[in-house]
Amino acid sequence: MTHEPPGPAKTPVAVLPVTGLRATARIVARADGGGTSRSWGSPRLSETGSGGEAGSGGGTRLPVLDGDGPLALRRIRAHGDQARVCVVGAMSAPLGGDRLCIEATAEAGAALHITAAAATVALPGRTAGHATYDVRLTVADGARLDWLPEPLISAEGSDLRMTTTVDLAPTARLVLREEQVLGRSGERPGTLRSRLTVRRAGRTLLDQETAYGPGVPGWDTSAVLDGHRAVGQLLVVGPEFDDKPAEVRLLGEAAGERAGRGDGAGQGVLAPLAGPGALATAVAPDALRLRHLLDEVAEAARGAAAG
């Protein structure tokens, strides 16, 4: 019997853990020329090309506009003294394991409008872990910030934890819209947990948490969504509500307004907060009908703010 000499010892191959993306996009808006914001329901009609000067009151410039990873930022045509930014998805995100964040600050007297080019789709990733998407908004005295992205779609198999945190100065104004669609057409939803926290002058104005999808008890019962697959809210905060709080208003099916829409149009309610603001919540079968309800809410809130 022959024996072969032992070969060289095999070096173990290290298996690196699969991790998701880490990306933080940052926006800072600064008043240019000493302008101050006005009631959100009555913007100026003049336009400028890049958020610069807009009449005697000045405009808003963007000294910081830093995209990162899948969060690309594009300056778009301004409206009056309001600088406008569009968030563009540079790649598919968030996926499982991703950690995404957007930080936006409107400094004193600035006016900033943030939108998105398309819906954000939460998808399953290569890791078993959940994804996170954090939005952090800061609005200084005399400033206004409109956060109006396109819907977030929770695709089947995804697991997303989303937080939106807003810090407002006493005379700051905010318009914030959130729309969530549970599942793409013909598929079941993923798991979506969302928290919205709004502080004004250091005191909590609103703090709410929602959860939908697999593993969440009762999310699809008549006490929560009742079979609807789109849910959203619109929040308006401003000092004008100190003098005249918003009145409670039912919308859609809740108000018996089915004519011209057909059954299943969705329903919503606009209600005052315990502070200078109004919150509307709505549910609907799909994103289109949800947007219709929230647009109706926006008109109602404009009327309340205008007196």
165-219 confidence digits (pLDDT tens) = 999 999 999 999 999 999 998 899 999 999 999 999 999 999 999 999 998 998 9
Question: Mean per-residue pLDDT for 298-302?
Answer: 66
pLDDT at 281: 94
CA dist list (Å): 305 to 4, 38, 39, 205, 278: 89, 11, 7, 18, 10
Whether 57 has a pLDDT exceeding 60, the answer reads: no
The percent of residues above 70 in pLDDT, for the chain, comes to 81
Is the model more confident about 141 or about 126?
Answer: 141
Whether 50 shows a pLDDT value over 50: the answer reads no
Task: Please say whether the beta carbons of 90 and 117 come within 8 A.
Answer: no
Residue 104, pLDDT > 70, answer: yes
CA distances (Å), origin 4, targets 1, 7, 86, 286 = 10, 9, 68, 71
Instruction: Give the model's pLDDT for residue 301.
Output: 61
pTM metric for this prediction: 0.84
Residue pLDDT, tens place only, 225-267: 888 999 999 999 999 998 888 889 888 887 775 544 445 779 8
Average pLDDT score over the chain:
85
Question: Over 50: is that where the pLDDT of 85 sits?
Answer: yes
Looking at the predicted structure, is the pLDDT value of residue 53 above 50?
no
More confident residue, 261 or 75: 75
The pLDDT value recorded for residue 47 is: 31
Burial degree of 263 (CB within 10 A; 0-12, 13-18, 19+): exposed
CA–CA dist 302, 307 (Å, integer):
8
pLDDT confidence band for 144 (50 / 70 / 90) = very high
Highest average pLDDT, of 8-22, 98-112, 241-255, comes from: 98-112
Please give the pLDDT value at position 43. Answer: 36
Contacts of 115 (CB under 8 A, 6+ apart): 76, 84, 85, 86, 87, 148, 149, 150
The pLDDT, as a whole number, for residue 127 is 79
Is the CB of residue 166 less than 8 Å from the CB of residue 174? yes
Highest mean pLDDT, choosing among 8-12, 80-84, 262-266, 303-307: 80-84
Give the model's pLDDT for residue 157. Answer: 94
* In the predicted structure, residue 306 carries a pLDDT above the cut 80: no
- Report the range of poorest mean pLDDT among 23-32, 39-48, 101-110, 294-303: 39-48
Number of residues written out for the chain: 307
